[in-house]
Amino acid sequence: MPTIDDPLIWHPDSSVPSDFHGFVPFYFWLIEKCRPETSVHLGLKTGLAFAAACQASKKQEIGQKCLGFSQSPLEMVEGFSAENGFENAQLSVASPKEALATISDQSVDLICMNLSDLSDIGSSLHREFSRVLSPRAVVVFYGTEQSFLNPEIAGMVASHPCLKLKQVTVLRAFAWGKEANSDFIALTRPKADLGHEAMELIEGFDQPATEGLLGGVELPAFEIPVPRHDDAQTRNESKDLHMAHMAGRLRRQDQELRSVAQHVTALTEERDRLLVSQETRFKELVILTRLLEEMRLVQDDLEQAESDMATLKTQNDAATAKVEKADLRINELLGFIADQENTITQLGMENDQLRMLADSSQRKVLQEPDE
């Protein structure tokens, strides 16, 4: 039987009203046994499950990272977490699908999901769970009986031995991986397969709420109906889950068949369109071939023009060289002419000087007879 330090007799610190209240003692026990490093709480409404996980983590000094996701802000739970110093607690506004997309592979040891709103899960929940859950992970679903008929939920529940707790709502828990806590796995087996310790725990859970698990300690009423091989209700529930799972598979197959049929129709229409346009494509091919021949002729003309241009360039270079040579000769002649002009100018100056000397001599000669 539980002692005074046993999680089964703890009382939740959070006063948030919730249908989850009757499941809190079991949730305390589950966290104490599994000691998850990371727990994820999806679809929070009141946030009691998240607050209980934080409380158990702190009291047991587990060092658990508690992640909570809700469709709208949970101010009461945020205040409760801040007041109690839950350093590893984190609340975010996100749908289950959005939340799972942000979580690393095989990093989660416990997922607790409220099934009150399944509009967002689509058909990828099992795939996302497989990605994020670790080998020692445990999954907890809680909601109405009707919510467990969802094909995705029903498929996962039907694939694992489950522990079922029933209050106003229903809680189902199962081990996802082979490394999950053995005490918890024992609770998911048929009653005939349970060991002595697990039987004592179940007998404690089955006591009336007014008696509690210890004398004088009053606990919220909750029970753990243990699956029996001869239990008609359990068999009927299993059949309902199986039928819901099969119905989901049939719906998915029907959708896949419709998708294939649409694809075949699209391919048929495409084939007909190609057959109708085959003659047009052939004509286009003939036209393109003709254009290609014309382009080849144009290419030949361009090559000839390039050859002619090369010849003209050679001739132009030769003519340019001749012009440059003529320019040099002209410059030489101009220099010679300039030299000749300078010589003529100098000779003119010398001639003027000689004329002046001659005139002077003549004047002297004319002056001498008079003397």
Question: Which pLDDT value is given to residue 81?
Answer: 59
Alpha helices per DSSP H over the chain: 24-34, 48-60, 75-83, 96-101, 125-132, 151-158, 182-187, 196-205, 232-276, 278-367
7-229 belongs to CATH 3.10.180.10: no
Question: Which pLDDT value is given to residue 223?
Answer: 37
Radius of gyration of the chain (CA): 52
Question: Which pLDDT value is given to residue 30?
Answer: 92
Cβ within 8 Å of residue 214, ≥6 positions away: 1, 2, 4, 9
Question: Which pLDDT value is given to residue 134?
Answer: 94
Residues of the chain with pLDDT under 50: 1-14, 192-195, 197-199, 202-230
Question: Which pLDDT value is given to residue 370?
Answer: 54
CB distance 12 to 55 below 8 Å: yes
Question: Which pLDDT value is given to residue 265?
Answer: 87
Categorise residue 6: left if φ over 0, alpha if ψ from -120 to 50, beta otherwise.
beta
CB distance 223 to 25 below 8 Å: no
Helix axes 151-158 and 232-276, enclosed angle (nearest 10): 130
How much is the pTM?
0.53
Domain boundaries, the chain: 7-229
Distance (Å, whole) CA 262 – CA 44: 39
